[in-house]
Structure 1
Amino acid sequence: MLRLKKYNFKNRAFTLFSLLSVLLFLSCDKLVELDLETGDPKIVIDAEIIWEKGTDGSKQTIKISRMAAYYSPDTPKVSGAQVRVENNDGTVFRFNESEPGLYVCNNFVPVLNMEYKLFVDVDGQSLTATEKLTSVTPIEKIDQEFMADITGPDLLVVTFYYKDPADQANYYLTDYKADFMPYPEYTVTSDEFVNGNEINEKFTDTDLKPGKILDITHRGISKNFYNYMNLILEAANSNPFGAVTGNIRGNIINTTDTNNFALGYFRLCESNHILYTVK
C-alpha cells in the first residue's frame, strides 16, 4: 500500500530520541544477546491452496515446520507427517513428503466455493482445519505514475485496478515481490465501503525503478482469513517499544489436545498473477 509520511512534533521528538539511541549504541562495541525464555516448539503449518487463473491448479504444496529459538538461524523442518485434504464430495487428496517439511499433491482438483478439510497427523497429534475456496476478481488494468516525495526524488507508484462484485462481500490479499525486496510485501483489502465499485491497489518503493520487474499475486480470501492477516500485519508493523504480541491463532485445531494448538492458517484462494515491468 502507498505509505505517506507525516511530520509533526511527536515525529521530531521520536527522531531525536532515535538519534541519541544510535549514538549511545555506537559507543559500545560489545554484542549483547538477551537470555530469552524458550517456549514450546509449536508446529507451524503453512497450508495455502492457491489456484492461479489459467492453470488447472493440480499441483499444491503444504509446508510443516517447528518454532525455533529467537536467535536460531534455521527453521526446523518437520518430516514424517501424514497430510491429506478432503472435499465435500468425499474426494481425498494426499500430500506426500518430497523433501524435509515439504508435502506435495499433484492431482488436486480446485472447485470454487467448495469446502475442503485439512488433516495432519504428526507427533502423535491430529490437526484439522476447514475452509472454502474463494474466488478472485481479475485485474483489469495496471499503470504507473510519479508521486512527489519531499524526502527525496519522486517515487514511482504502480497501480492495478479491478471491478468488485456488488452482490457479495469480498476480501482480498495481495503480495508484491521484486529482486530488491528481501521479503514479500502484503496488503489486505475489504470492499466494505466500496462494494460494487472499481478498486485500485497501489505499491511504491524507493528502489522501484524503470526496468525492474514487480511480481504481483492478487488473491480472493475468506473474511476469517482477512481478519487473521490483519492481525499478522498489525503485529509485523507494531511499535517496537510496545508490548510483545502473543501467538495469533489460526483456524487449525488440535483434536488430540486442544491446548497444544498449531500455528498457521489453512486457506484456499483463487489468484491472479502478473509480472509487471516498470517503464
Structure 2
Amino acid sequence: MQRIDIKTIKKKTLAVLSLVLVLFFSSCDDVVKLDLETGETRIVVDAEIIWKKGTSGNEQIIKVSKTAPYYDNKTPKVSGAKVKVTNSKGDVFTFNETEPGSYVCTNFVPVINMDYVLSVEAEGQTFTAAEKLISVTPIDRIEQKRVPDVAGDDLYEISFYFKDPADQVNFYLTDYKSSILRLPSYTLFDDELFNGNEIYPRFSDPDLKPGISLSIINRGISKNFYNYMRLILEISGGSPFSIPPENIRGNIVNTTNANNFAFGYFRLCEADTATYVVKENDNITYLVK
C-alpha cells in the first residue's frame, strides 16, 4: 500500500497555487485606459487672497489655467490675462504675470470686512467675482495626547485651540500639511454648536510619530465659500485635489458669455498659522506665541 505524504501534497498544492497566482497577476499587467468623454474646456481661476497674521499680506497670487482631459499629466496655463482686484474704496490692485498662468500683486492691502471685486480678462472673456475679507481669531495653544485606535496601537492626536467670537456666525477652513501627507488634509466646520466658546479641531494619522512636523493653517471664511467647499469635499472624498464626478460652480461669473462659466472660487481669508513637532510624551500643552 502506497503511503500518502501529507507534506508532499501540501508542497505540490502550494506550488500549483503560486503558479496560478503568478499567471493571474501577470495577465493583469496591461493598463486599462477607459475612453472617457472629454467635456468642454473651461477657464479655471484659483484666487485665494490669504492674509496670514503677523504679515502685511501685500504679496498675493492668483492662478489662471484651463481644464484638461482626465489622462493629461499637465494643467494648461493661461498666459496674457489681465487680472486685477478692486476694493470698495476704489483702490485697484494689479496682478502681473510672473510665470505662465501665475499672476502676482506685491502691493495688496487687506482690510477685514472690506468688499473686493476680482476681474480676469482672458481669451476674449471677462470673469468677475465679489467677496468680503473674513477675519479669524488667533490660535492660543496646541495640545498633544494619545488616543485609542481600533486598528492597533494608540494614535498621536494634535488639537489646536482658539476662541470663537460670540457676536457673529463664523465658518472655518483648516488645512494640515506634513511630510507624511501626500496632499494637505482639510477640515471644514462652523460655530453652530460652539458659538462664543473655545473650539479645538483635532488631527491624527497612523503615521504621525515623534519628530514629525505638522503645519496648521486656520482660515476664517464666508458662508458661501463654506457651502462651496462642503460640496467639493463631500463629492471628492475629502480632497479638493481629486476630480469631482460632477461640475461644481463657484462665484466666478462670465460677464461676456454667461454660459461659458469658469471654475474656481474667489475668496479672501484672514488666517493664523502654527507649526508643531510631535513629542515623545503622551500629554503636552504648547502655548502659541
- Label 1:69 to 1:113 Cα distance change in 2 as closer, same or farther (>3 A): same
Alignment of 1:4-83 (within 5 A): 28-83=28-83
Q: 4+ residue stretches of structure 1 with deviation over 4 A? A: 24-27
Partner of 1:13: none
Letter in 2 for 1:57: G
Letter in 1 for 2:157: V
Q: CA deviation at 1:27?
A: 5.5
Unaligned runs of 5+ in 2: 1-23, 239-243, 280-289
The two structures have a TM-score, normalised by structure 1, of: 0.88
- Provide the secondary structure at the position in 2 that maps to 1:30: coil
- Provide the secondary structure at the position in 2 that maps to 1:63: strand
Partner of 1:12: none
The two structures have a TM-score, normalised by structure 2, of: 0.85
Partner of 2:190: 190
Deviations along 1:162-205, whole A, 9 cap, x unmatched?
11111100000000000121110111110012111111100011
Alignment of 1:146-161 (within 5 A): 146-161=146-161
Deviations along 1:32-56, whole A, 9 cap, x unmatched?
1001111111111100000000111
> After the TM superposition, which of the residue ranges 78-87 and 143-152 deviates more from structure 2?
143-152
CA distance in 2, matches of 1:260, 1:148: 51
- Provide the secondary structure at the position in 2 that maps to 1:162: strand
Alignment of 1:86-165 (within 5 A): 86-165=86-165
- Provide the secondary structure at the position in 1 that maps to 2:168: coil
Partner of 1:206: 206
Q: Count how many residue pairs are aligned between Structure 1 and Structure 2.
A: 252
CA distance in 2, matches of 1:45, 1:147: 40
CA distance in 2, matches of 1:194, 1:135: 17
- Provide the secondary structure at the position in 2 that maps to 1:226: helix
CA distance in 2, matches of 1:25, 1:60: 50
Q: CA deviation at 1:144?
A: 0.7
CA distance in 1, matches of 2:41, 2:208: 38
- Provide the secondary structure at the position in 2 that maps to 1:154: strand
- Provide the secondary structure at the position in 1 that maps to 2:128: strand
CA distance in 2, matches of 1:107, 1:35: 47
Q: CA deviation at 1:30?
A: 1.8
Deviations along 1:83-114, whole A, 9 cap, x unmatched?
00000000000000000010000000000000
Partner of 1:14: none
Q: CA deviation at 1:125?
A: 0.3
Q: CA deviation at 1:158?
A: 0.3
Identity %: 61
Q: CA deviation at 1:257?
A: 0.6
Unaligned runs of 5+ in 1: 1-23, 239-243
CA distance in 2, matches of 1:29, 1:50: 45
Q: CA deviation at 1:77?
A: 0.9
Deviations along 1:13-70, whole A, 9 cap, x unmatched?
xxxxxxxxxxx87752221100111111111110000000011100000011111110
Partner of 1:11: none
- Label 1:26 to 1:139 Cα distance change in 2 as closer, same or farther (>3 A): farther
Letter in 1 for 2:102: L
Deviations along 1:199-246, whole A, 9 cap, x unmatched?
1100011111111110110000000000000001001118xxxxx732
Deviations along 1:116-169, whole A, 9 cap, x unmatched?
000000010000000000000111110111111121221110001111111100
CA distance in 1, matches of 2:142, 2:81: 42
Letter in 2 for 1:59: E
- Label 1:109 to 1:185 Cα distance change in 2 as closer, same or farther (>3 A): same
